[in-house]
Structure 1
Amino acid sequence: MVRLEASLRTLELTVRRRLDGLLQGNHVGLLPGPGTEPGDARPYQPGDDVRRMDWSVTARTTAPHVRETVADRELETWAVVDLSRSIDYGTAATDKRHLALAALTAVAQLTAGGGNRLGAVVANGAMTLRLPARGGLAHARGLVRRVATAPPAPEGVRGDLAAALDELRRPPRRRGLVAVVSDFLGEPVWERSLRALSARHELLAVELLDPRELDLPDVGTVVLADPETGRQREVETTPLLRREFAAAASAHRDRVAAALRRCGAGHLTLRTDSDWVSDIVRFAVARKHAAGPRVPRRPA
């Protein structure tokens, strides 16, 4: 336990030092940007999100207008953490479970302060753990600790990300941010549940990857195992098999990315063989720049 506490504290300090200063001023969701409360209408400008068109003002003035929103001062964030057996895998500098904790710590850091609250739904296919949304540093640390000590899924039990997402729909939560941390293996049967959440929440999807899930090395005969079902198969890593494996992995990632785009989710990829902190920083800075400066309100 002492070693775990020291490891989590080091993780928190690493994230805090690298991400410090990214969030300044009013914000909603993971990064600065528009809020959810309706504000003033203003003329449409090229590059504005057409989903914010104010059709009543447009019809009245015969010129296209968009509706501004007021930045939220308080944010409720929910993290959905997938801890199915495939998460306990890694062949590079770390494993995907560590990346899941890193992503959760980053979300906690980036949404901390100002009365904001953080909660989590943790699922491994066999059990679902709901941690209520509360504010404060002590709560955030305790939440990360609970996720770190969550038991692994029993062998033969598949994860059910869709069921975990549905936990946030019943009962409906106040508008805020939902961060989904998963490796998104298997068919995207979770898309319908995630799309339903997008009607009320800003979405962030953190995809966890290991290089061996994308490309088989030339190692001769190898036994491949499905960590969720326990099924094993001995294969010869021929050039043809390696090409087919890489093509199938690439096609799967494309399907996942397309499903996340249809849901309107921001997509952050963390790999076990890369500097995950730099990846988070680049993503945060890119989203911050994409949000652009807020247009000042016109005087009444």
Structure 2
Amino acid sequence: MTPATPRPAGAADSTRSGAVLARLQLLVTRKLDGLLQGDYAGLLPGPGSEAGESREYRPGDDVRRMDWPVTARTTMPHVRRTVADRELETWLAVDLSASLDFGTGRWLKRDVVVAAATAVTHLTVRGGNRVGAVVGSGGVEAPPARRWRPQPPPVGPGQLVRLPARSGRREAQGLLRAIAETPPRPGRSDLGALVDMLNRPPRRRGVAVVISDFLAPPRQWARPLRKLRVRHDLLAIEVVDPRELELPDVGVLPVVDPETGELHEVQTADPALRHRYAAAAAAQRAEIAAALRAAGAAHLRLRTDRDWLLDMVRFVAAQRHARTRGTTR
């Protein structure tokens, strides 16, 4: 449930999305290029396929990279480094269901989703890497699009659309435009089906990024995430609004479920109700974090009332620090 807010017209949404995307691209280029100057790696350490040198095992290392011959000779656990692939393929699973069309902070949750996709795409497309996406806009599943051009095709109600992975800045801008201009649709999206589209067909090892508020029950999407992590490095970007964590004391507050249209009036002056709401929200977020951790995903939480770019910069810095220590998380 989210506080009821008026929704702008479709044409205004498209114009606003284009303006927001233009500002985001400029902001990301300035900030993240400065942060990662001279560093080939992007948001996550790229998976390697060519064997490198061995070193002693450290807590947090991927046990699938254990070097058993060296471990047997030295009687100390060792892992084998891998040389990063010079051509990396990244796939985004972008959830744009109706629950993302809400925000009480500096941004709408939808804007933060587009911002995160912009940052990941910018970090990936450098060096000739390919980036693709699957986009869900709520409702029931429909056949994915077969072809894609920089100008996005019309998206029907409830579609899960696949945008093929391609290299080049022009193609990346077209992909981001298609994401930003995807209209919100009524109905609850199937996050599990959206994630599972990254598992079909099987692709070579790369990076998978899932961007959502993860409000769907974890039992719906946890198993597809675990399956995805078997083959790819996985990053889960969770988008949160402060009103989803606690209610303000503002008297009677009309709230509406953006996915079903159901309307309720809540008496927020009741401290017991606010306490129960905050406790339930904390338990829900803890369950989401536990499910992501069990899936082996790197977890980045972005809030609509905070500087999302600063949070992303800190995340990138932490990943780089972990990489220098030989860990991947």
TM-score of the superposition, structure 2-length normalised? 0.83
Overall identity of the aligned pairs, in %? 55
Residue 49 (structure 2) aligns with: 37
State yes or no: 1:89 paired with 2:102.
yes
Q: 1:7 to 1:225 in 2, by over 3 A?
A: closer
Residue 263 (structure 1) aligns with: 295
| Structure 1 runs, 4 residues or longer, greater than 6 Å off | none
Which residue identity lines up with residue 92 of structure 2 in the other structure? A
Cα distance in structure 2, aligned partners of 1:75 and 1:42: 23
Cα distance in structure 1, aligned partners of 2:261 and 2:255: 10
3-state DSSP class of the match of 1:190?
helix
Alpha-carbon deviation of 1:2? 6.4
Q: Is the 8 A contact 2:46 2:207 kept in 1?
A: no
State yes or no: 1:173 paired with 2:203.
yes
Cα distance in structure 2, aligned partners of 1:205 and 1:269: 8
Which residue identity lines up with residue 131 of structure 1 in the other structure? L
Q: 1:184 to 1:9 in 2, by over 3 A?
A: same
Q: What are the Cα deviations for residues 40-91 of structure 1, in whole angstroms up to 9, with x where unaligned?
A: 4524244461512223442355432211111111110111000110000011
CA RMSD of aligned residues (A): 2.0
Cα distance in structure 2, aligned partners of 1:15 and 1:163: 30
Cα distance in structure 2, aligned partners of 1:53 and 1:135: 33
Which residue identity lines up with residue 243 of structure 1 in the other structure? H
Which segment is superposed worse, 55-64 or 124-133?
55-64
Which residue identity lines up with residue 179 of structure 1 in the other structure? V
Q: Identify unmatched segments of 5+ residues in structure 2.
A: 1-13, 139-157
Cα distance in structure 2, aligned partners of 1:294 and 1:212: 38
Residue 259 (structure 2) aligns with: 228
Q: Is the 8 A contact 1:34 1:69 kept in 2?
A: no
Q: Identify unmatched segments of 5+ residues in structure 1.
A: 296-300
Query: Mapping of 1:243-254 within 5 angstroms?
Result: 243-254=275-286
Which residue identity lines up with residue 323 of structure 2 in the other structure? A
State yes or no: 1:112 paired with 2:125.
yes
Q: 1:135 to 1:145 in 2, by over 3 A?
A: same
Query: Mapping of 1:196-207 within 5 angstroms?
Result: 196-207=227-238
State yes or no: 1:134 paired with 2:134.
no
Which residue identity lines up with residue 147 of structure 1 in the other structure? I
- Size of the aligned set, in residue pairs, is 291
3-state DSSP class of the match of 1:121?
strand
Given the alignment, which residue of 153, 170, 179 partners 1:147? 179
Which segment is superposed worse, 133-142 or 3-12?
3-12
Which residue identity lines up with residue 248 of structure 2 in the other structure? P
Q: 1:262 to 1:134 in 2, by over 3 A?
A: same
Q: What are the Cα deviations for residues 205-259 of structure 1, in whole angstroms up to 9, with x where unaligned?
A: 1111111111101122222221112222222221000000001111111111111
Which residue identity lines up with residue 271 of structure 1 in the other structure? R
